[in-house]
Amino acid sequence: MPLTPHPLDPLSLDEIASVASVVRALTPNNEEIFRVITLAEPPKKELTGYLDAEHARRTPRPLKRVAKVHAYIDKAFHEIFVDVNERSIVFHDVLHGRHSHIDSAYMKKVEAACLQDEHVQAEIDSLHLPEGATVIVEPWTYATDGMNDMRERTTMCWFYMRLSTHEDANYYAYPLNIVAEVSESLQVKSISRLPSGANEELNSVRKPYDHNKVHTSSEYHPDLSTSRRTTTKPLRIIQPEGPSFQINGNHITWEKWTMRIGFNYREGLTLHDVRYDNRSLFYRLSLSEMFVPYGDSRCPYPRKGAFDLGNDGAGVNANNLKLGCDCLGHIKYFDAWHTTSSGEPLKLPNVVCCHEQDDGILWKHTNFRTGNAVVTRSRLLVLQTIITVSNYEYVFVWYFGQDASIHYEVRATGILSTAPIDVGDKVPFGTVVAPGVLAPYHQHLFCLRIDPALDGHRNSLVVEDSVPMPFPDKSNPFGVGYVTDSKIVEEEGGHDLDHFKGRTFKIINENKINPTTDTPVGFKLLPYYSQLILAHPSSYHAKRSEFGQHAVWVTRHKDEELYASGNHTMQSLGGEGVASWIKARAEDGNAETGVKDEDIVVWHTFGSTHNPRIEDWPVMPAEKMVVGLKPFNFFNGNPGLDVPISTQEKNQSVLVGEKDPARVEKEAQRPKL
Amino acid sequence: MPLTPHPLDPLSLDEIASVASVVRALTPNNEEIFRVITLAEPPKKELTGYLDAEHARRTPRPLKRVAKVHAYIDKAFHEIFVDVNERSIVFHDVLHGRHSHIDSAYMKKVEAACLQDEHVQAEIDSLHLPEGATVIVEPWTYATDGMNDMRERTTMCWFYMRLSTHEDANYYAYPLNIVAEVSESLQVKSISRLPSGANEELNSVRKPYDHNKVHTSSEYHPDLSTSRRTTTKPLRIIQPEGPSFQINGNHITWEKWTMRIGFNYREGLTLHDVRYDNRSLFYRLSLSEMFVPYGDSRCPYPRKGAFDLGNDGAGVNANNLKLGCDCLGHIKYFDAWHTTSSGEPLKLPNVVCCHEQDDGILWKHTNFRTGNAVVTRSRLLVLQTIITVSNYEYVFVWYFGQDASIHYEVRATGILSTAPIDVGDKVPFGTVVAPGVLAPYHQHLFCLRIDPALDGHRNSLVVEDSVPMPFPDKSNPFGVGYVTDSKIVEEEGGHDLDHFKGRTFKIINENKINPTTDTPVGFKLLPYYSQLILAHPSSYHAKRSEFGQHAVWVTRHKDEELYASGNHTMQSLGGEGVASWIKARAEDGNAETGVKDEDIVVWHTFGSTHNPRIEDWPVMPAEKMVVGLKPFNFFNGNPGLDVPISTQEKNQSVLVGEKDPARVEKEAQRPKL
């Protein structure tokens, strides 16, 4: 092992501190300037050479460690790349008209400024809130709607109240019909009353709070909510010989899989150099972006549209996972490092958990002639991270299978974002989940970035439909024949799912032919069937989240294209995501646009059109979305063929007896027929 | 508890014996006449009254126990209904031109007759098989193709060989290119050579066996196959206080759920009177049918099309599940009773397992203001049954959630059905998985029958799309608004999925309005997106499996309509499934066809277009298909809100330490930056 960090290792606390000191030297003021100090991953060209050497057991040539820094210096947003070992700045730009991701310290100031504003106070007074109410301001980034000049940071303040003295009382159960806009300089620019009925508009009618909205059914915290069921008996995972994985720093070895994990403030967990049985599969796997546009058409609700990665950050919002609560069994936790605004390394503890899970039958066959059954159970490696973005929680899980399959699961849970509604009113774009509480319709759109390296970096995307053979036709006399219609995608672009055609998307390596099937080796994408973005193509929501236009995209690999809605989503104006990259290259006569047998990236857009049901309230049972990647004529047979046969000796299950005295008695007493 | 069986209890061994004696009296010969002696479930009209009384804690009026009997008497196929307690025949019909489900004893006779036929022997001799080869005949039911008169039972015999002396050697790895047709009276009617190349037809060219096909990579049995990986360490489920379920005969109580299980030779596991928190949800849930049509267009392959329920039976083919192998944790097994051909009760042991499973996070929220996280883990009740149908295995699993969700999972595993192919040849409707072994394309089409009883039996089906609001329009100034477009289905018929519209299917009770949402209570179907049947509508495959035409069907409830391809699928000619029922009623001026606010049944067709990959060989890693049912504005909030909070005290997970001395050393030695 080299003594220097691996090129994919996130910056260490020492590296962060060192980089901070380099950047701090740029400004005489000892300001709280830092937003981000993170690893700038090496260019793919360099890193692949390094990894190749590593896997060939040659000593790799060390790569330059570079940090990407986001800092506000004299109110300007700087992007600075620092050579970590040389302690020198290698690139420096001021990003005019751009904004860094959410600054929670600033958001706290917005809250305070808003609550202290005398006009806001007057507005609150006019509500005549119930005795003991505590008003809560929930500041949100402003989703561009064309009504404000977006060069300056603007914050939307939504109002709620807490009736209980308990700090964890669910204030989303009491949305107030006030909204305020706060400027960069913490001035309240406007205060309005929110619409209530379907056709009502943003207005200034000072209606008092309707005390009929007070209710007790919206608490989730165990101190406050309904009594707990006592029927659920304990269930524990015992691994007497410990887990089957080995961890070496950020490198994981498990059941023929090897991979490196990365972690950054924005994407959270990233996976690198994913291999099975020493064969290269994926260069990098990551959640690229997610967007949550709300479908309530009334001003100012179109300003609700959250880029939970680009604006909030899946890394900085990652939960500190708790043993026995978030994860069951033998758990290895990974920490991450972020930075404080003053440039001190900030530990993000337990942001990723790594453990194993039983997943039922992996494969089974009973020879009906002998009655002999052979059965194996499926063991999964689980890499889980959970993020909290204000009201919502997202559980992101990678599952690795012994059959060389990968599944990526998103669970949406947490609390619905709510808006006030008059008691008795209804709107067509939301569900009333409690008195006076509207849960508006919205979508969750995720974009998974798949950078394949199937036996090398030159891969292709295949769109394959299953189609009936012509009929009537000599080749198909009985009308039952069907074949596959496969097309290799030649140019960058977006594609859609079609279950009517059994459409599958495969990533293949045309240069590597499976000797048995005589077809290129490949992996198949198991998409999650989802509705695409509902907002009109000319809306800011749609223009800002271009990845929402198609389910599957393919582009040529570019180091700088990691984020499907562009690098800076905060108050973005659109026109800078995956569709724009493709369009720009297609229109540029000199750009290369071919994706056949090239270094490609495949992007999968999926998610849910979440029209809330009352069962999602006051806290939402996890809604699962699962995407898969499975080998397709890549190996030379079932990669899990050698998984140990299941035995009771190993698994030690317990037989539950017939503990039913009533029935036993009945059997005994029943007269013989 | 009454001393008599519950009306939904399967026939007991005593009842079977008693019914057999009634039917045996019909024939003077002591023949082996019996195929089926099973419970004829009471008419819904009667049973609902019984269940209502039960739930109201009134003494229910006992219902007549009736058995359905299939028997061959003097070579005619009889269907007989017997009053079990009166020991009298209440209905008796001779089903001319119909066939009972597969008779494995008869199939053995077919095998023997085929192998003993001198023409067959001559054909085998002409193959010049390798030394020590054992020829195996695999008899299949004949999927109607229009080439034979289907009034007589006809069996297709496919030929394989086993090279190893081991009885569990995988003979599917050696398909021989002989095929024979055997008549009802065990006469070999024809012998042919199978086609090999894409355009080659069924023929009589006596090519010898190509010894280049001999290979060693196709074994799955641990005695024969590759060495096992040793890296998978044991993982056990410990339930120190036992399981959370209570079993009383066939009645299950678990975490607010109650239900009764049934089991019969055809459907296998059935669920009845499914309730949550004392509210009625589903009257009956069952897998209604499945069909596996093969896509190889060459004669005689269109004769491969298996109704694995109607022809084979999910009940009689259910595996005897083994503790610690098929199921992990605390397991309750259920046995079932079938009948021998002489009418003796035949025990089918351990055909259903019932246990619990941890399923990760059920819900979580962290209040970002206090940092307090509340998390619950999801516990599932699992009811699993596994069937073997010749080469294939299907794992059928019902999962019940603490959030009142139900998921039905099918896992396809086992061995691909194979056909011979010349070494070096390719065909467009199959994958070569080993030398000389073609795995032809095929579909697995399942039909789930959902008989809802959401707060009563008068329910409706809603088709709901999420659609953008008009734009430009005053109601939608920013172009981001969307609403739902809901239509209650008025007439029986078939419907399709549309993920582009975010289409959802809901079952609702219009007579029961959720007081908070002010909408009818309902459950939402989470369909499994699948390609529909690829065979041409005029083909026998399509005509026989009408349910494959649409993803969702709704019909008026009829006691006699349990099986989506009709009661007798063996060599059926089509025109007797769900589409035909609907058509017949629509064309009958007097029939009632309305399904709004009626006693309805919803049918969901799903499955996979299985174009084999080499990774499915020699035994297939389970391919999962999952369908869900979730409450939608049925309850008054998250039904799992009261699930106990997760704690380490209860769950006792184990922290995996940083056991990486190399890295620790590296950290220590690395010079400070």
B308 is catalytic: yes
pLDDT tens, A448-464? 999 999 999 999 999 99
Closest among A408, A385, A383, A382 to A314, alpha carbons compared = A385
Q: How far is CA A281 from CA A1, A37, A273, B552, in A?
A: 23, 30, 7, 38
Other beta carbons within 10 angstroms of residue B480's beta carbon come to 31
> Nearest residue of A to residue B228 by CA position?
A642
Interacting residues of A574 by C-beta distance below 8 A, sequence separation 6+: A144, A540, A542, A543, A544, A546
pLDDT tens, A321-371? 999 999 999 999 999 999 999 999 999 999 999 999 999 999 999 999 999
> Strand, coil or helix: what is A22?
helix
* CA dist., res. A464 & res. A520, Å (int): 14
Kindly state whether residue B385 falls inside one of the protein's structural domains: no
Q: Is A188 exposed, middle or buried (0-12, 13-18, 19+ CB in 10 A)?
A: buried
Residue identified by tokens 């039972």 is B153
Q: How far is B366 from chain A (nearest CA, A)?
A: 7
* CA dist., res. B226 & res. B218, Å (int): 10
* CA dist., res. B439 & res. B455, Å (int): 48
CB B176 within 8 A of CB B215: no
- The one-character DSSP state at A309 is I
At A160, list the tokens. Answer: 């709620």
Q: Do B500 and A531 touch (CB under 8 A)?
A: yes
- The one-character DSSP state at B311 is I
Q: How far is B226 from chain A (nearest CA, A)?
A: 6
Q: Is A379 exposed, middle or buried (0-12, 13-18, 19+ CB in 10 A)?
A: buried
Q: How far is CA B114 from CA A250, B301, B416, in A?
A: 62, 19, 23
Other beta carbons within 10 angstroms of residue B166's beta carbon come to 13
In this predicted structure, what is the pLDDT of residue B446?
98
Q: Do B236 and A651 touch (CB under 8 A)?
A: yes
* Per-window interface: A 33-72 vs B, CB < 8 A: none
Instruction: Give the gyration radius of chain B's Cα atoms.
Output: 28
Bridge partners (DSSP) listed for residue A238? B236
Q: How far is A515 from chain B (nearest CA, A)?
A: 10
- Residues A90 and A137 placed together within one structural domain of the fold: no
Q: Is A96 exposed, middle or buried (0-12, 13-18, 19+ CB in 10 A)?
A: exposed
At A211, phi and psi to the nearest 5?
A: -70, -10
Kindly state whether residue B298 falls inside one of the protein's structural domains: no
Q: Do B330 and A379 touch (CB under 8 A)?
A: no
Type of residue found at A94: V
* CA dist., res. B269 & res. B275, Å (int): 17
CA B110, distance to chain mean position in Å, is: 27
CA B238, distance to chain mean position in Å, is: 30
- Residues A85 and A116 placed together within one structural domain of the fold: no
Q: Please report, rounded to a whole number, the percentage of residues in chain A having pLDDT higher than 70.
A: 96
In this predicted structure, what is the pLDDT of residue A313?
98
Closest among A339, A422, A377, A463 to A645, alpha carbons compared = A377
Kindly state whether residue A180 falls inside one of the protein's structural domains: yes
| DSSP per-residue codes, B255-275 | TTEEEEEEEETTTEEEEEEEE
Kindly state whether residue B154 falls inside one of the protein's structural domains: yes
In this predicted structure, what is the pLDDT of residue B664?
40
CB A501 within 8 A of CB A465: yes
- Residues A90 and A113 placed together within one structural domain of the fold: no
Q: Is A587 on the interface with B (CB under 8 A)?
A: no
Given B68, B94, B120, which residue is the final one in a domain?
B94
Given A213, A236, A252, which residue is the final one in a domain?
A213
Q: Do B642 and A229 touch (CB under 8 A)?
A: yes
Residues in A closer than 8 angstroms to B218, CB to CB, are 637
User: Of the candidates A325, A429, A468, which has its C-beta nearest B534's C-beta?
Assistant: A468
Residue identified by tokens 């967007």 is A291
Q: Do B670 and A502 touch (CB under 8 A)?
A: no
Other beta carbons within 10 angstroms of residue A560's beta carbon come to 8
Q: How many helices and strands (H and E) does chain B possess? A: 8, 33
Q: Do B673 and A327 touch (CB under 8 A)?
A: no
Closest among A238, A281, A255, A251 to A401, alpha carbons compared = A255
Residues in A closer than 8 angstroms to B646, CB to CB, are 324-326
Banded model confidence at residue A658, pLDDT cuts 50, 70, 90: low
- Residues B144 and B196 placed together within one structural domain of the fold: yes
Instruction: Give the gyration radius of chain A's Cα atoms.
Output: 28
Q: How many helices and strands (H and E) does chain A possess? A: 8, 33
Q: How far is CA A325 from CA A460, B357, B365, B464, in A?
A: 42, 16, 12, 37
The residues of A assigned a catalytic role are 308, 392
Mutate which of A312, A471, A480, A528 to test chain B, going by most B C-beta atoms within 10 A?
A480
Query: Cα torsion for B428, B432, B433, B436, to the nearest 10°?
Result: 150
- Residues A78 and A109 placed together within one structural domain of the fold: no
Q: Is B517 on the interface with A (CB under 8 A)?
A: yes
CB A107 within 8 A of CB A191: no
Q: Is the peptide bond before A537 cis (omega within 30 degrees of 0)?
A: no
Type of residue found at B408: Y
Residues in A closer than 8 angstroms to B276, CB to CB, are none
Q: How far is B24 from chain A (nearest CA, A)?
A: 16
> Strand, coil or helix: what is B631?
strand
- Residues B132 and B71 placed together within one structural domain of the fold: no
- Residues B86 and B115 placed together within one structural domain of the fold: no
Report the CATH number that the domain containing residue A36 is assigned in CATH: 3.10.450.40
pLDDT higher than threshold 60 for residue A320: yes
Q: Do A226 and B641 touch (CB under 8 A)?
A: yes
Interacting residues of A65 by C-beta distance below 8 A, sequence separation 6+: A5, A7, A11, A15, A39, A83, A84, A85
Q: Where are the alpha helices (DSSP H) in B117-184?
A: 118-125
Kindly state whether residue A199 falls inside one of the protein's structural domains: yes
Kindly state whether residue A47 falls inside one of the protein's structural domains: yes
pLDDT higher than threshold 70 for residue A671: no
Q: How far is CA A481 from CA B242, B528, B638, in A?
A: 52, 24, 48
- Residues A109 and A89 placed together within one structural domain of the fold: no
In this predicted structure, what is the pLDDT of residue B670?
40
Catalytic pick among B160, B392, B408, B563 = B392
- Residues B141 and B190 placed together within one structural domain of the fold: yes
- Residues A119 and A165 placed together within one structural domain of the fold: yes
In this predicted structure, what is the pLDDT of residue A672?
39
Kindly state whether residue B86 falls inside one of the protein's structural domains: yes
* CA dist., res. A429 & res. A434, Å (int): 16
Q: Do B609 and A322 touch (CB under 8 A)?
A: no
- Tell me the count of A-B CB pairs closer than 8 A: 629
CB B177 within 8 A of CB B192: no
Q: Do A609 and B483 touch (CB under 8 A)?
A: no
At A672, list the tokens. Answer: 């013989």
Kindly state whether residue A229 falls inside one of the protein's structural domains: no
Q: Is A502 on the interface with B (CB under 8 A)?
A: yes
At B661, phi and psi to the nearest 5?
A: -60, -40
Residue B152: domain span: 104-213
Q: Do A167 and B327 touch (CB under 8 A)?
A: no
Q: Please report, rounded to a whole number, the percentage of residues in chain A having pLDDT higher than 90.
A: 93
In this predicted structure, what is the pLDDT of residue B199?
65
* CA dist., res. B566 & res. B145, Å (int): 18
At A626, list the tokens. Answer: 């699962």
* CA dist., res. B632 & res. B623, Å (int): 29
Q: Is B18 on the interface with A (CB under 8 A)?
A: yes
* CA dist., res. B232 & res. B225, Å (int): 18
Mutate which of A13, A246, A294, A297 to test chain B, going by most B C-beta atoms within 10 A?
A297
What are the residue ranges in chain B where pLDDT is below 70? 1-3, 198-204, 658-673
Q: Is A75 exposed, middle or buried (0-12, 13-18, 19+ CB in 10 A)?
A: exposed
Mutate which of A223, A615, A650 to test chain B, going by most B C-beta atoms within 10 A?
A615
CA A664, distance to chain mean position in Å, is: 53
Q: Is B21 on the interface with A (CB under 8 A)?
A: no
Q: Do A374 and B638 touch (CB under 8 A)?
A: no
Q: Do B374 and A222 touch (CB under 8 A)?
A: yes
- Residues B115 and B175 placed together within one structural domain of the fold: yes
CA A568, distance to chain mean position in Å, is: 17
Q: Do A534 and B238 touch (CB under 8 A)?
A: no
Mean pLDDT in residue range A191-211: 82
- Residues B21 and B82 placed together within one structural domain of the fold: yes
In this predicted structure, what is the pLDDT of residue B672?
39
Given A213, A235, A258, which residue is the final one in a domain?
A213
Residues in B closer than 8 angstroms to A230, CB to CB, are 644
* Per-window interface: B 136-175 vs A, CB < 8 A: 136, 145-146, 167-168
* CA dist., res. B164 & res. B266, Å (int): 35
At A245, list the tokens. Answer: 């994985």
> Nearest residue of B to residue A665 by CA position?
B3
Q: Is B663 on the interface with A (CB under 8 A)?
A: yes
Q: Is B243 on the interface with A (CB under 8 A)?
A: yes
Burial A113-125 (b: 16+ CB within 10 A, else e): bbbebeebeebbe
Q: Give me the number of domains chain B comprises.
A: 2
Type of residue found at A247: I
